[in-house]
Chain A
Amino acid sequence: MKPAPFEYHCPRTVDEGTALLARYGDDAKVLAGGQSLVPLMNMRLARPANLIDINRIESLAYIRDDGRALRIGALTRQRAAERAPQVAERCPLLRDALRLVGHAQIRNRGTIGGSIAHADPAAELTAVLVALDGEVTARGPKGTRVIAARDLFVSYLTTSLDPRELLTEVCLPAPPKGAGWSWMEIARRHGDFALAGVGVVLAVRGGKITAARIGLTGVGPTPVRPAEAERLLTGQTPSEDLWNGAAEAVRAAVAPDGDIHASAEYRTHVAGVLTQRALREAWERAREAA
């Protein structure tokens, strides 16, 4: 498992990086954490002629709270975000989801931007981005643009990023204070790809749900935002029946593939079970916060 030959480039600034991408974009890959790309290259499934190593672009690693949202530089290591006080304070859903991304060793190298750009159908971060209506910033030959989460994920391992664009920042709007949250997933072992995963945020006032956000992973080629389930929950008083209804709506909204680890029926069923349990937990947390 040795990679095919490639040219190695090591830009120091974002401009240098985008210049390299502009030049080699069609046959280049960006190396950030490498936790997905390097195995693909070692197995010769990916054979980019050019590898653009952005690990020296220090300006891309940061976590900022701009009052409305968390702005996370693409090169921020997953482990750093997992342990950042701003994340625990403003977006605990992200922290809880991060804890289940692979193992600590992987998170020491893997980056926030890398995971999102890689768009694995069972990734945690893509579901969190979609649930929170996040967005990413990308810089390319045509300049800088912002892409909303709902427009970002196209299919398996495929985003709407142009091969010549560098993802520079991930922006996650922070849930309102006092909102409850929960991340739950089923994996065959600690750290494995989720067979199904659900992230939930519930904003609550006066014993009623004012806003519900749900993001699912592992249930299709891209993360799923089940609009009907969210609609069902909004304005309602929590109850077991309400959670069941939302679970059924989630089941209707997903069309997972089966594979050797779990059938499509199982994933659909479990997506509903996890939704119920996550809603219950999010509601508990909202109550505690009140």
Chain B
Amino acid sequence: MKLEGTNTLPASVDTVWKTINDPDALRSCTPGLKELKATGPDTYQATLQIGIAAVKGTYAGTLSITDKRAPTHYKITLEGTGGAGFMKGEGSVDLEPQGSGTLLKWTGDLQVGGLIAGVGQRMLGGVGKMLIGQFFKCLEERLGGSA
């Protein structure tokens, strides 16, 4: 599914850029991320436990940052496989200054396969959007904004 959105963050482009590249920030803001271990520059081994309410799946996979054009653009890919299926989220992030803050524009392609896709089509889109929303809300809070 294709998703997109914009967020206004209360910090300069440079600060935002640093934050979205900071493994600490990624570790604490990515919903369900249990483990993030660097295996190379901009590549991490990831363990995710994602779901909603009782429906949870554990996914083991990778998080990687590519196509870096500091300090305004990169692609971030999170993919994993697990018992409940597999998932692959590819996001393209663009930053531009807006006043004293930053306008963050993202477009993403979220693929969910396996059991969850076959059974949860009713809510997948909404839940996907919600989880991505959680990610940005967390970033916002980290950068000193309020919910």
Indicate whether A and B are direct neighbours in the complex (CB within 8 Å): yes
Q: Which positions in A face B, CB cutoff 8 Å?
A: 29, 37, 40, 43-48, 118-119, 121-122, 155-158, 193, 221, 257-261
Contact between B130 and A40, CB atoms less than 8 A apart: no
A260 contact from B121, B126, B127, Cβ within 8 A = B121
* With known contacts A221-B130, A259-B121, A260-B121, A158–B84 Cβ distance under 8 A: no
Closest partner residue, chain B, to A48 (CB atom): B54
- Distance (Å) between the CB of A121 and the closest chain B CB? 7
Taking chain B's interface residues, is the majority helix, strand, or loop, or is none over half, making it mixed?
A: helix
B52 at the interface (CB under 8 A from A): yes
- A-B pair count, CB < 8 Å, reads 54
CB-CB nearest in chain A for B83: A44
A37 to B53, CA, bound (A): 11
Chain B interface extent, by class: 10 to 19
A257–B1 Cα distance when bound, in Å, is 12
User: Would you call B84 and A156 a contact (CB within 8 A)?
Assistant: no
Contact status A156-B119, CB under 8 Å? no
* Nearest chain B CB to A90 CB, angstrom units: 31
13 contacts between A and B (CB under 8 A): A37-B54, A40-B55, A43-B115, A43-B119, A44-B115, A118-B53, A119-B53, A155-B52, A156-B123, A156-B126, A221-B126, A258-B125, A259-B121
Q: A121-B123, A259-B122 are in contact. Are A46 and B52 (CB under 8 A)?
A: no
CB pair A157–B52 under 8 Å, yes or no, is yes
- Which of B52, B53, B115, B125 lies in contact with A259, CB distance below 8 A? B125
With a cutoff of 8 Å between Cβ atoms, the chain B residues found around residue A221 in the complex are 126, 130
Among A37, A156, A259, the residue within 8 A (CB) of B130 is A156
With a cutoff of 8 Å between Cβ atoms, the chain A residues found around residue B83 in the complex are 44
Within the complex, what minimum Cβ distance (angstroms) separates B40 from chain A?
32
Grouping DSSP codes into helix (H, G, I), strand (E, B) and loop, the A interface class, with mixed when no group exceeds half, is loop
Most buried by B among A119, A155, A158, A259: A155
- Nearest residue in B to A28 (C-beta to C-beta)? B54
Interface presence of B56 (CB below 8 A): yes
- In the assembled complex, the Cα of A46 lies from the Cα of B55 at a distance in Å of 5
Which 8 pairs of residues, A with B, have the shortest CB-CB distance?
A: A46-B54, A157-B53, A257-B126, A45-B55, A156-B123, A157-B52, A259-B122, A257-B125
A63 to B126, CA, bound (A): 35
**Contact among B54, B84, B122 with A193 in the assembled complex (CB-CB below 8 Å):** B122
Chain B nearest Cβ from A259, distance in angstroms: 5
Which of B83, B126, B127 has the most chain A CB atoms inside 10 A of its CB?
B126
> Nearest Cβ distance between residue B134 and chain A, in whole angstroms?
10
Instruction: Name the residue in B84, B116, B123 with the highest tally of chain A Cβ atoms < 10 Å from its Cβ.
Output: B123
Which B residues, 76 to 94, have Cβ-Cβ distances below 8 Å to chain A? 83-84
Rounded to whole Å, the gap between the CB of B141 and the closest CB of chain A is 17
Determine which of B52, B54, B121 lies in contact with A29 in the assembled complex, contact meaning CB atoms within 8 Å. B54
CB neighbors of A among B48-101 (8 A) = 52-57, 83-84
Among the listed B53, B116, B119, B120, which residue makes an inter-chain contact with A158, where contact means beta carbons less than 8 Å apart? B53
B130-145: contact bitstring with A at CB < 8 Å (1 yes, 0 no)? 1000000000000000
Q: Which residues from B are CB-within-8-Å of A47?
A: 56
B55 partner residues in chain A, CB cutoff 8 A: 40, 45-46, 157
Q: In the complex, A43 Cα to B55 Cα: how many Å?
A: 10
In the bound complex, CA of A93 to CA of B20 (Å): 50
Given contacts A40-B54, A45-B116, A119-B53, 15 further A-B contacts (CB under 8 A): A37-B54, A43-B115, A43-B119, A45-B54, A45-B119, A45-B120, A47-B56, A155-B130, A156-B123, A156-B126, A157-B53, A193-B122, A257-B125, A257-B126, A260-B121
